[in-house]
Chains A and B, each alone.
Chain A
Amino acid sequence: MRLGFFVRESLRSMRRNAAPSFAALATVLVTMLVLGVFIPVFQAATGAAESVRGRVLVDVYMKTSATSAADARVQKEILALPHVKSVSFESKEQALKQQSKQDPAAYALLGSNPLPDTFHVTPDNPGNVLIVRGELTPKGPDGHPGLIDPAIQNVSNHTEDTQKILTITSDVKWILFALTVLLVTASTLLIANTIRLSLYARRREVEVMKLVGATDWFIRWPFVIEGVIVGAIGAMLAILLLAVTKIALLDPLAANWSLIAAPRTIGFAWLVIVLLASGVAISALGSGVSLRRFLRV
């Protein structure tokens, strides 16, 4: 039916306007290549920043004399505080086992267990870690910070370090985000501009079609289908290049260099789908939308 006609029309116009079509294809190819490299890099970097932030915890050390009843009470109290996501308990025995693994000789010398029971408190958001710390050590009537429970010996205090980690990782995330926005905007504009140029060369054709009584969509469909074809071919070529690079360069390196093999980066199959979809969508939308100006006849 109509679809066949529209596809034939777009193939014809690509054949007859080979140069602009090729320019659009090359633009899509380059953009998708850049995106294809940048997406995993972005993810590895944010992943690294996230995992650093994820390690920001508040440790609550119990008095060595604390009973298991006191442990249960404190755990309940901590869980009741706002901004607390989870609490994990590490008994003094577990702590000793853990530590003596690292330095068996030293702990063997000690004989007895000097380590306290510990609660590792994870905030609902790394940014809230200082709030949680503040809640665990409320200011007493004399203005000095106290503790919420007498069975607690002390609460870990690395305010300055924590602050630094939070600021730096958050800056890194913002910079990466801004770069991504910039990159995506620039590539969209680049593709749209190339398409606009090729449409501009054919604006008279569009005008004639309108004067003969063609509806907007009758004119638009071949252009959109052309955008889909150009976008798909461009994205597929980019994917091919990326795959070659991945197999020839990255995979041998990944064995030795852990950042490349970071588990948090996108899988290649997903990357293919994302690139193909965005290439086709940007190019088809670009054609359809850019055409609007020339349809006002």
Chain B
Amino acid sequence: MSVSEPHNRSRRRPVAPTTRAKKVSRPARSGPGAPVIEFRGVSKLYAGGDIGLDQATFSVERGEFVFLVGSTGSGKSTVMRLLIKEIDCTDGMIRVAGRDLEEITRRRVPLYRRNLGVVFQDFKLLPNRTVYENVAYALQVTGGTRREIRDKVPDILRLTGLSTKLHNYPEQLSGGEQQRVSIARAFVNHPPLLLADEPTGNLDPETSIGIMQLLYRINRTGTTVLVATHDQAMVDKMRRRVLELSRGRVVRDEATGLYARDETTREFAARLRGAGIEYPEV
């Protein structure tokens, strides 16, 4: 069951330049047609006998913006945890940018993770570092020089709208701001793939729109974005491709073709706000 839609390919954009990032283990270069994410018959059985995923097959093309939806326990988080190789699948094959995750040894997992930006529901910021240091840590991990950090961090924080909060600690920020820091940290290395697990789960609707807008802006630089969420209303309005999971199976995979592919982030946000009564105009 190949689910990649032909018209998705036309949206493919050049990948954001990543050559500046040092010491990052690149995934095996593959042909231009290779999907960024490919799940083939993937199953995950947890130790207690719970089914995380059951024969899930799907693929995500370069530059796509994909929602992963489903109720609690449907397997969304399992997909995310498999992709960051926090856990291994029991059956099937997962490829990211053409590379089989099975082949990555434990020692090389950190190098693999540097190719991913990951955003979590609970932000996962380092509590005793400032906003600036939190973002800088992602660069320090890859061996980034001080100069590189001085160059990149303020840029990315400006992009995420945090220029005035550089020296605040996470506990001094609102939830939305913390999530912006976490997105800035995820994107500072310009990874080809950004994963977001319930990024708006703890946020109010208006703040959520801001976060989605930010994710969309990142998507427009060519980064593939996969967002797991149970916020059905948000998904309906975004009109992006939706993968629905239920009890570990892919039960729906549809690309809503009704949106303008090149809409600006401003238009995008306006549509989000206008499209539903749940999100009042501010």
Contact = CB atoms under 8 A, between A and B. Distances in A.
A205 B133 CA distance: 14
Contacts of B110: 210, 213-216, 218
A209 interface: yes
Nearest to B142: A213
A292 interface: no
Given A209-B126, A213-B110, A5 B140 contact: yes
B84 A211 contact: yes
A208 B124 contact: yes
A297 interface: yes
Interface string B101-133: 000000000111110101010001111100000
Contacts of B113: 210-213
B141 interface: yes
A210 B126 CA distance: 12
B141 A209 contact: yes
A13 B185 CA distance: 20
Contacts of A17: 128
A144 interface: no
B279 interface: no
B128 A213 contact: no
A16 interface: yes
Contacts of B215: none
B58 interface: no
A12 B141 contact: no
Contacts of A204: 124
Contacts of A205: 126-128
B86 interface: yes
Interface in A89-122: none
A208 B126 contact: yes
- Of listed A13, A207, A212, residue having the most chain B CB within 10 A: A212
Contacts of B114: 213
Contact of B111 (A16, A209, A213): A213
A16 B128 contact: yes
A218 B141 contact: yes
Contacts of A13: 128
Contacts of A213: 110-114, 116, 138, 141-142
Interface string A175-210: 000000000000000000000000000001101111
A175 to B, nearest CB: 47
Interface residues of B, number: 21
B84 A212 contact: no
Interface residues of A, number: 19
Nearest to B128: A16
Interface string B175-219: 000000000010000000000000000000000000000000000
Given A211-B84, A213-B113, A213-B114, A12 B128 contact: yes
Interface in B55-114: 84, 86, 110-114
Contact of A209 (B112, B120, B128, B137): B137
Contacts of B116: 213
Contacts of B125: 208
B118 A211 contact: yes
A297 B86 contact: yes
Nearest to A296: B106
Interface string A67-83: 00000000000000000
A297 B114 CA distance: 15
A218 B128 CA distance: 18
A218 B126 CA distance: 15
Nearest to A9: B140
Given A208-B124, A208-B126, A297-B86, A214 B118 contact: no
Contacts of B142: 213
B125 to A, nearest CB: 7
Contact of B138 (A12, A16, A210, A212): A212
Contacts of A209: 126, 137, 141
Given A17-B128, A213-B113, 5 more contacts: A209-B137, A211-B118, A211-B120, A212-B113, A218-B110
What 4 A-B pairs are tightest by C-beta distance, nearest first?
A213-B113, A213-B114, A16-B128, A215-B110
24 contacts: A12-B128, A16-B128, A204-B124, A205-B128, A208-B125, A209-B137, A209-B141, A210-B110, A210-B113, A211-B86, A211-B113, A211-B124, A212-B137, A212-B141, A213-B110, A213-B111, A213-B112, A213-B114, A213-B116, A213-B138, A214-B110, A215-B110, A218-B110, A297-B86
Interface of B: 84, 86, 110-114, 116, 118, 120, 124-128, 137-138, 140-142, 185
Interface of A: 5, 12-13, 16-17, 204-205, 207-216, 218, 297
